[in-house]
């Protein structure tokens, strides 16, 4: 970890993520009232950034068309965007590890079938699948998590499959088998812990991707539903007022880009680190 | 090589078949009754039953599926519930718009990405390299629909130079010759720029990595030791060998690119498959959803095949490996 922080990229990412998570957690403390709070709509709507309304409340990022504070919605939106994508990635990692490990460790038919299913799912455009799934049931936050999780496990499965196949023939695994360990135990205690490193990289990249896709679905009106704030539906709500109130769509977009850049660079830094440490392994 | 491509084509067909089956099953699992949607809440049970019978929804699932596949194979993809138009006509108008947008942006983002990545790889660690790295990772992270909105804000609302919606102006039918081409290009500019900028981020990052990987190999050291000029080493030895992973990436990134196009089409009201799909999803227009999903799967599979063929054409090693197998 200390090695990792010496990498400037990684330090930047950990910083950005820490600030975002902190803001999201402490949302009630760092903002002015509830994210859906409206006062006098006619008097408080479309206030520009840094404006103060007639109640002497400062709006650091301005207000939207209902007079709701954009900064407040941004930090509450961070709660939803970050937790939705973290849960979705968790789901896809669990699924991916299960499928990948089973495919890599099961002999014969089952492995081939699982691998076939994985490759099939990889060949589909993810957004088409997302739209399809999101269109079939009522849009909700739970549905977004499920849909993102169910369409994101394939890369992890592929990585775990490769690792498990490579690890299964290594001497320490053969040693464990020779000592009489059961197959399930060999997989769980000896192979999987060693197969996790690329999964961590994929998970870091996956969180960034999931945030983008969650925002995309919410932007199209198929994700998190208003009046709850998510970065995606905030961008969508600012879309019609780009001319007179550009800050409404700009602020959540900038937050989104920052977080996704952080996740991508974190993935890069982790990968470089693993390559440097594990250089002699392969 | 042809045999190998043939095998891939069969695998691609299997993917398309899988997509159709999956979509069909999912549509059946979905709550909501298409007949009810079609007739509205005031329909009587008798009318609903009649409509269900007319749509074939009262028959066994296997029959419904077989009927749909057989009709689709004959070119009859049913009628859109929301618009009442034949699905085939809807998608027939839509797919060229998507292919031209995605194809052009793919070409542009690869050419630009190759140039940027090559410049970076030639001067690794320099200030320019760092600046371009920051730029490419940022572009890689920008959501296409948001970048699109920002470009609309700047070029349409502030500068008032480019149109933001559709593929042609209202007066397009009255224009002739160059004026018409110019009108189309002006409408293409913003969606194309959005999709290309997002794509350049990814491809530049990849090219830089691939070229640095190639740069550490023995034959590059040999070429340098022979006294080959640095520019020639870069162009003839490094770049050529970095092209192969690029083409593999091209195939793999097609689904993602297509996904990006869905959002960009939605923002710019670009009349492509993505917009048809989004509209159909909102209207729960199941025949259109089914067909649009199939068409996008076909486009991705065909694109993958093209990328495979290109990779084999560029790299003699791939060709000989496939001949051997």
What would the two tokens of residue A282 be? 């392969």
A140-159 pLDDT, tens digit per residue, is 888 889 988 988 898 899 88
A197 CB contacts (<8 Å, ≥6 apart)? A274, A278
Query: Cβ of B281 and A125 within 8 Å?
Result: no
Cβ contact, residue pair B258, A249, below 8 Å: no
The tokens describing A8, both together, are 């400037």
Mean pLDDT value of segment A233-248: 83
B195, B102 in Cβ contact below 8 A? yes
CB-based contact, A88 to chain B, within 8 Å: no
Arithmetic mean of pLDDT, A209-219: 88
Percent of chain A, pLDDT > 70? 95
Asked if pLDDT for residue A14 goes beyond 50, the answer is: yes
B31 lies within 8 A of chain A by CB: yes
Q: Which of residues 98-117 of B touch A (CB under 8 A)?
A: none
pLDDT, tens digit, 9 for 90 and up, residues B235-268: 888 888 888 777 777 777 777 777 788 888 888 8
C-alpha A82/C-alpha A87 separation (Å) is: 9
| Cross-chain residue pair B259–A126, CB shorter than 8 Å | yes
Whether the CB of B301 is below 8 Å from some CB of chain A: the reply is: yes
Give me the mean pLDDT over the A155-173 stretch.
87
B293: closest chain A residue by CA: A128
What local confidence, expressed as pLDDT, does residue A88 receive?
94
Closest residue in B to A155 (Cα) is B252
Contacts of B280 in chain A (CB under 8 A): 135
Q: Which residues of A touch B145 (CB under 8 A)?
A: 216, 219, 235
Is A265 an 8 Å CB contact of chain B? yes
Q: Mean pLDDT throughout A51-66?
A: 76
Inter-chain touch A260–B289, beta carbons under 8 Å: no
Position A5 scores a pLDDT of 61
> Which residues of B fall within a CB distance of 8 Å from A265?
137
Of B138, B149, B260, the CB nearest to A242: B149
Nearest CA distance, A24 vs chain B (angstrom): 21
The pLDDT tens digits of the residues spanning B122-143 come to 877 788 888 888 888 888 888 8
pLDDT band, residue B170 (cuts 50/70/90):
low
With contact defined as beta carbons under 8 Å apart, do A134 and A143 qualify? yes
pLDDT given for residue A280 in this prediction: 41
Identify the residue whose tokens are 């993520």.
Answer: A17
Using the beta-carbon criterion (under 8 Å), do A256 and B26 form an inter-chain contact?
A: no
Reported as a single tens digit per residue, the pLDDT across B180-195 is 778 888 888 889 999 8
- The average confidence (pLDDT) of chain B is 80
- B149 in reach of chain A (CB within 8 A): yes
| Residues forming beta bridges with residue A52, ordered by sequence position | A58
Cβ proximity of B211 and B193 under 8 Å: no
* Chain B residue numbers touching A260 (CB-CB < 8 A): 141-143
Residues 6+ apart with CB under 8 A from B69: B20
Q: Which residue has the higher pLDDT, B248 or A169?
A: A169
**Nearest Cβ partner for B277 among A128, A208, A264:** A128
Q: Name the A residues in 136-165 with CB < 8 Å from any B CB.
A: 136-138
Inter-residue contact B247 to B307 (CB < 8 Å): yes
In this complex, which of B145, B152, B284 lies closest to A135 when CB atoms are compared?
A: B284
Find chain A residues with C-beta within 8 A of B162's C-beta: none
Look at residue A92 in the predicted model and tell me its pLDDT: 94
CA B241 to chain centre: 26
ipTM above 0.90 for this complex: no
Instruction: Kindly state the tokens that stand for A15.
Output: 């910083």
Mean pLDDT of B294-309: 78
More confident call, B222 vs B58: B222
- Respond yes or no on whether the N-terminal peptide bond of residue A51 is cis (omega within 30° of 0): no
Model's pTM, two decimal places?
A: 0.81
Choose from A16, A136, A143, A237 for mutation: most chain B CBs within 10 A: A136
Q: Would you say the C-alpha torsion B207, B210, B215, B219 has a positive or negative sign?
A: negative
Q: Which of B14, B259, B261, B308 to substitute to test the interface with A, most A CBs within 10 Å?
A: B259
Share of chain B above pLDDT 90, in %: 1
Q: Within a 10 A sphere around the Cβ of B242, how many other Cβ atoms? A: 24
Q: Would you state the pLDDT for residue A90?
A: 95
Which token pair is B182? 């110019």
SS3 A21: helix
Q: Which residues of A128-159 are buried (b: 16+ CB within 10 A; e: fewer)?
A: bbbbbbbbbeebebebbbbbbbbbbbbbbbbb
Between chains, do B289 and A132 touch, taking CB under 8 Å as contact? Answer: yes
Q: Is there a contact between B277 and A125 if contact means CB atoms under 8 Å apart?
A: no
Higher pLDDT, B147 or B252: B147
Reported confidence tier of residue A281, pLDDT bands at 50, 70, 90: very low
Say whether A46 sits in a helix, a strand or coil: coil
Three-state secondary structure readout of chain B: CHHHHHHHHHHHHHHHHHHHHHHHHHHHHCCCCHHHHHHCCCCCHHHHHHHHHHHCCCCCHHHHHHHHHHHHHCCCCCECCCCCCEHHHHHHHHHHHHHHHHHHHHHHHHHHHHHHHHHHHHCCCCHHHHHHHHHHHHHHHCCHHHHHHHHHHHHHHHCCCCCCCCCCCCCHHHCCHHHHHHHHHHHHHHHHHHHHHHHHHHHHHHHHHHHHHHHCCHHHHHHHHCCCCHHHHHHHHHHHHHHHHHHHHHHHHHHHHHHHHHHHHHHHCCCCHHHHHHHHHHHCCHHHHHHHHHHHHHHHHHHHHHHHHHHHHHCHHHHHHHHHC
Q: What tens digit of pLDDT does each residue of B203-220 get?
A: 888 888 888 888 788 888
CB contact under 8 A, B282 and A215: no
Contact B42, B50 (CB under 8 A): no
Tell me, what's the pLDDT at A99?
92
Q: In the predicted model, what is the mean pLDDT of residues B271-291?
A: 83
- Determine the pLDDT at residue B17: 82
SS3 A65: coil
Q: Is the pLDDT of residue B112 over 60?
A: yes
Cβ within 8 Å, pair B263-A219: yes
* Rounded Cα–Cα distance for residues A141 and A156 (Å): 23
Q: Counting beta carbons within 10 angstroms of the beta carbon of residue A56, is it exposed (0 to 12), middle (13 to 18) or buried (19 or more)? A: exposed
What phi-psi label fits residue A86: left (phi over 0), alpha (psi between -120 and 50 degrees) or beta?
alpha
**B13 in contact with A, Cβ within 8 Å:** no
Query: How many residues comprise chain A?
Result: 282
The predicted model gives B131-160 an average pLDDT of: 85
- With 60 as the cut, is the pLDDT of residue A160 above it? yes
Does A55 score more than 80 pLDDT?
no
| A131/B262 Cβ within 8 A | yes
The backbone torsions φ and ψ at residue B79, rounded to the nearest 5 degrees and listed phi first, read: -115, 140
- How far is residue B139's CA from residue B142's CA, in Å, rounded to a whole number? 5
Cα angle value B189/B191/B193 (rounded, 5°):
65
What kind and span of H or E run contains A115? helix A109-122
| pLDDT at position A279 | 47
């Amino acid at each position: 970890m200390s090695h990792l922080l010496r990498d400037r990229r990684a330090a930047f990412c950990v910083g950005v993520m820490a600030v975002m998570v902190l803001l999201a957690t402490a949302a009630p403390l760092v903002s002015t009232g509830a994210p859906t709070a409206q006062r006098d709509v006619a008097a408080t709507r479309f206030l520009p950034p840094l404006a103060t309304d007639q109640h002497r409340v400062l709006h650091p990022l301005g207000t939207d068309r209902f007079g709701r504070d954009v900064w407040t919605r941004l930090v509450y939106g961070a709660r939803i965007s970050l937790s939705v994508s973290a849960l979705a990635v968790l789901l896809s990692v669990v699924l991916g590890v299960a499928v990948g490990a089973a495919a890599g460790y099961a002999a014969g038919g089952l492995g081939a079938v699982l691998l076939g299913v994985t490759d099939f799912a990889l060949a589909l455009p993810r957004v088409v699948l997302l739209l399809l799934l999101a269109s079939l049931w009522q849009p909700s936050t739970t549905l977004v998590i499920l849909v993102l999780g169910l369409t994101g496990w394939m890369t992890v499965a592929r990585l775990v499959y490769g690792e498990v196949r490579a690890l299964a023939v290594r001497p320490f695994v053969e040693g464990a088998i020779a000592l009489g360990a059961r197959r399930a135990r060999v997989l769980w205690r000896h192979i999987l812990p060693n197969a996790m490193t690329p999964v961590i990289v994929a998970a870091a990249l996956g969180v960034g991707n999931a945030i983008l896709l969650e925002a995309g679905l919410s932007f199209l009106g198929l994700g998190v539903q208003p009046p709850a704030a998510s970065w995606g539906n905030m961008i969508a709500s600012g879309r019609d007022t780009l001319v007179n109130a550009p800050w409404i769509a700009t602020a959540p977009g900038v937050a989104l880009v920052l977080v996704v850049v952080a996740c991508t660079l974190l993935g890069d830094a982790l990968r470089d680190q693993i390559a440097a440490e594990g250089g002699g392994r392969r | 090589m042809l045999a190998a491509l043939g095998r891939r084509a069969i695998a691609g067909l299997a993917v398309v078949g899988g997509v159709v089956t999956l979509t069909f099953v999912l549509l059946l699992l979905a709550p909501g009754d298409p007949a009810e949607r079609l007739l509205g809440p005031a329909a009587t049970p008798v009318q609903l039953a009649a409509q269900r019978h007319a749509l074939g929804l009262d028959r066994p699932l296997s029959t419904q599926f077989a009927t749909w596949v057989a009709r689709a194979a004959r070119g009859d993809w049913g009628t859109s519930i929301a618009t009442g138009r034949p699905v085939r006509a809807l998608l027939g108008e839509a797919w060229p718009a998507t292919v031209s947008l995605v194809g052009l942006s793919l070409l542009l983002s690869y050419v630009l990405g190759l140039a940027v990545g090559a410049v970076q790889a030639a001067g690794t660690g320099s200030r320019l390299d760092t600046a371009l790295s920051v730029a490419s990772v940022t572009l890689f992270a920008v959501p296409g629909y948001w970048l699109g909105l920002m470009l609309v804000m700047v070029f349409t609302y502030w500068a008032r130079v480019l149109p933001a919606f559709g593929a042609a102006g209202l007066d397009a039918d009255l224009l002739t010759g160059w004026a018409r081409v110019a009108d189309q290009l002006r409408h293409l500019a913003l969606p194309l720029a959005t999709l290309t900028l997002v794509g350049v981020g990814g491809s530049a990052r990849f090219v830089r990595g691939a070229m640095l990987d190639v740069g550490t190999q023995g034959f590059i050291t040999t070429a340098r030791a022979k006294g080959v000029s640095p520019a020639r080493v870069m162009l003839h030895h490094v770049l050529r060998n970095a092209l192969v992973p690029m083409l593999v990436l091209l195939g793999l990134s097609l689904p993602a690119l297509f996904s990006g196009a869905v959002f960009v089409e939605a923002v710019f009201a670009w009349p492509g498959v993505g917009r048809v799909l989004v509209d159909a999803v909102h209207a729960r227009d199941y025949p259109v959803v089914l067909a649009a999903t199939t068409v996008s799967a076909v486009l991705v599979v065909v694109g993958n095949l093209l990328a495979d063929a290109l990779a084999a054409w560029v790299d003699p090693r791939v060709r000989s490996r496939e001949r051997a197998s």
